Chains A and B, each alone.
Chain A
Amino acid sequence: MSEAISEPVIALGRGARSLRRLLREPLGAFGLFLVVAVIGAAVFADLLASADPSRISPRDRFMPPGAEHLLGTDQLGRDLFSRVLHGGRIALTVALGSTGVSLLIGIALGLISGYGPRWLDNVLILLFDAIKSFPTVMLALAFVTLFGPSLTAVVVVVIIINVPGYARIIRTQTIALKNAEFVTAAQSMGASTARILRVHVLPNVIGPILILASMDIPVVIAIEAGMSFLGLGVRPPTPSWGAILNDGFASIRESVWIVVAGGIPIILTTLGFTFLGETLRDVFDPRLKAR
């Protein structure tokens, strides 16, 4: 009874199409370039910078940038270029790792809160708001006082700060979808709650939060740098952008290059992720565009 309806569908993959649109935006292309460059530099740090980032060489203190030390050396004669690249590893590990974990927890709690019973929703919302009401710095200080400064401390603080925001967004979207016909249809087919959430709800709510998370990455990098700068994060001699900045700040009278070396990567990474995130948002969800 059917005549095969076969209009030619040039189903250009959603991904490829979005990438094309992303690259067409100058800011988006620039952001993507910066992000790729920063990640690449961190991943291939060993190849790009042959010097050991922790090797102290008192004779070469405060050297300006030159052929041997691309960004000069710090107050202990360590190669700043190498420290910056290796510091990028720390920054990105913290940023990506903690954002990833916050996403996982936030999404799970948001789905439960949005789809589950009303009382559970109320309890979770209360919890989210309570956490959100702590100032970030206070939370970090309290945490470090209790457990001591470490990379883990930074990661845990970032997760605690980020989860409520992500969970709230997922919750709102889940509530909006809860009574959508395709969800009711899944119920009528006998799908379990877990399956409804995983297969029918999650794919429809995850887009905006990923964009949001990509815009949060510079914030996390700033938190890591800030905490390390204050001596609450990464312990020396591990290289970290925040720690480099701190070193530079202490010896700014001797050399400005240390501050420059610590500051530039933070600026570039922040710009890169921000541009990328904002363009992604415009491409995927033009409604959010603030005009």
Chain B
Amino acid sequence: MPVLSVTGLNVRFSTEDGSVHALKDVSFDVPERRIVGVVGESGCGKSTLINAILGLLAKNGEVSKGSILFQGDRDLTKLGATEMRALRGEEIATVFQDPMGALNPVFSVGQQMVNVQYRSGLSKAEKRKRASEMLKQVRIPDAEAALSRYPYEFSGGMTQRIAIAMALMMEPALLIADEPTTALDATLEVATIELLQELQVKIGCSVLFISHHLGVVAELCEDVVVMYAGEVVERGTVRQVFNDPRHPYTVRLLECDPARQKKRMRHLPTIPGEIPDLRARPEGCIFAPRCHRRFGACANTPPDMETGTGHVARCFLADQPEPVGAQG
């Protein structure tokens, strides 16, 4: 049974300029003890997805269709505010891009780490001990002393590790990590990924890892969900998607990554065109206007085609792959 199961999720925002269809028929699973990556560029709906899962959609947004099942029995789209609050932080924890924003600057790290355990029923001393153990696990040197220091006294890499420690304090079933390494330097990014991997195994939680960085996702995740303009265009295991991409957007996105190009090239590949205006979501395939394989049928909405076990692409041509690098 998956920890999180998103099925046919649609989210709409009502704005002054009409209704924005921000997520359209989004479906994917986060199985138990697995790390699932969500990749996509700006405007793909990553943040809306997280907010929908956490029940934190803006006031003008609503889930118009679909369900988000947590541990098979609770539909997060139907839970009340109080139940959601109980769930967040305890069973679903979150790490954000900016760790400084997640830590309260006027409380010491120790106070905050003790506070997050307010539901645990342990004594204060026990809570503090657990906090220092957790800090040791995220490799904060001199954990005991670190507890009485304040967030600003730590470097960016350390604050992110502290934020991770805090998120995992209550041993949640699901950790949602929203671009947690984006603000970090490459060497720290790698260290943070390795740390996340290690802790995930130790705690046995599932991770939903949001990133725009293909390399990080390839390295950290087991499954991957590719989003474009509010739709899941392709999903599968990391090997399936990265080695045998079936949606033209995935193909082009992989081509664009300069890291994929081992040979020096003065002219880098790009995806011409722009993300469509979601206020007037075009009929048919969402990627069609920018797609190099577009043909007549693309005026209709393509089905989710399963091309391998768990490998799904929303494209009419999903069963006729093109080799990576054939274009451009």
Of the residues B16, B17, B272, B277, contact of A7 by C-beta under 8 Å: B277
Q: How far is the CB of A266 from chain B (nearest CB, A)?
A: 37
Please list the residues of chain A having a beta carbon within 8 angstroms of any beta carbon in chain B: 3, 5, 7, 10, 17
Offer 8 A-B interface pairs, CB within 8 angstroms, sorted by A. Answer: A3-B272, A3-B273, A5-B273, A5-B274, A7-B274, A7-B277, A10-B17, A17-B16
Pair count A-B, CB < 8 A: 8
Given contacts A3-B272, A3-B273, 6 further A-B contacts (CB under 8 A): A5-B273, A5-B274, A7-B274, A7-B277, A10-B17, A17-B16
What separation, in Å, do the CA atoms of A10 and B16 have in the docked complex? 13
**What is the chain B residue whose CB lies nearest that of A2?**
B272
Point out the residues of chain B lying under 8 angstroms from A5, CB to CB.
Answer: 273-274
Q: Shortest CB–CB separation between residue A24 and chain B, in angstroms?
A: 10
Contacts of B272 in A (CB 8 A): 3
Q: Within the assembled complex, what's the spacing in Å between the Cα atoms of A17 and B16?
A: 10
Distance between B274 CB and nearest chain A CB, rounded to angstroms: 6
Interface flags for B259-290 (1: CB within 8 Å of A; 0: not) read 00000000000001110010000000000000
Closest B residue to A10 by CB, please name it: B17
Distance in angstroms from A18 CB to nearest chain B CB is: 12
The 4 closest A-B pairs by CB, nearest first: A3-B272, A5-B274, A7-B277, A7-B274
Q: Chain B interface (Cβ within 8 Å of chain A)? A: 16-17, 272-274, 277
The docked-state distance in angstroms from the alpha carbon of A3 to that of B16 is 30
- A3 smallest CB distance to B (angstroms): 5
Cα separation A10 to B277 with both chains bound (whole Å) = 12
Nearest A residue to B272 via CB reads A3
Q: Enumerate chain B residues within 8 angstroms of A7, measured Cβ to Cβ.
A: 274, 277
Cβ-closest chain B residue relative to A21: B16
A5, B276: Cα distance in complex, Å: 11
Minimum C-beta distance from A84 to chain B (A): 41
> Once the chains are docked, how many angstroms separate the CA of A166 from the CA of B277?
41
Closest A residue to B274 by beta carbon equals A5
- Report the bound CA distance from A59 to B262 in whole Å: 103
Nearest CB in chain A to that of B279: its residue: A10
Question: Which residues of chain B have C-beta atoms less than 8 A from A10's C-beta?
Answer: 17
Contacts of A17 in B (CB 8 A): 16
Residues of B within 8 A of A3 (CB): 272-273
Whole-angstrom CA separation of A5 from B271 in the bound complex: 13
Residues of A within 8 A of B273 (CB): 3, 5
Instruction: Indicate the member of A5, A7, A10, A17 with the most B CB atoms within 10 Å.
Output: A7
Closest to B280 in A: A8
How many Å lie between the Cα of A56 and that of B141 in the bound state? 90
Q: Which residues of A contact B274 (CB under 8 A)?
A: 5, 7
Closest to A3 in B: B272
Tell me the smallest distance from the CB of B124 to a CB of chain A, in Å.
36
Q: How far is the CA of A3 from the CA of B273 in the complex (A)?
A: 7
Q: Measured between alpha carbons, how far is A155 from B308 in the docked complex, in Å?
A: 81
* A116 CA to B177 CA, complexed, in Å: 44
Give Cα A10 to B272, complex, Å: 23
Residue of B nearest to A9 (CB): B277
Give Cα A17 to B272, complex, Å.
32
Chain A residue contacts of B17, Cβ below 8 A: 10
Shortest Cβ distance from A283 into chain B, in angstroms? 12
Shortest distance between the CB of B276 and any CB in chain A (Å)? 8
Q: Give the nearest-CB partner of A20 in chain B.
A: B16
Q: Whole-angstrom distance between the alpha carbons of A17 and B17 in the complex? A: 11
Q: How many angstroms from the CA of A75 to the CA of B17 in the assembled complex?
A: 59
CB distance from A173 to the nearest CB of B (A): 23
* Closest beta carbon of chain B to A252's beta carbon, Å: 52
B16 contacts across to A, CB distance below 8 A: 17
Chain B: which residue is nearest A6 at the CB level?
B274
CB-defined contacts of B277 to chain A, threshold 8 Å:
7
User: With the chains together, A132 CA to B274 CA distance in Å?
Assistant: 54
Q: How far is the CB of A192 from chain B (nearest CB, A)?
A: 36
| A10 and B274 alpha carbons, distance in the complex (Å) | 17
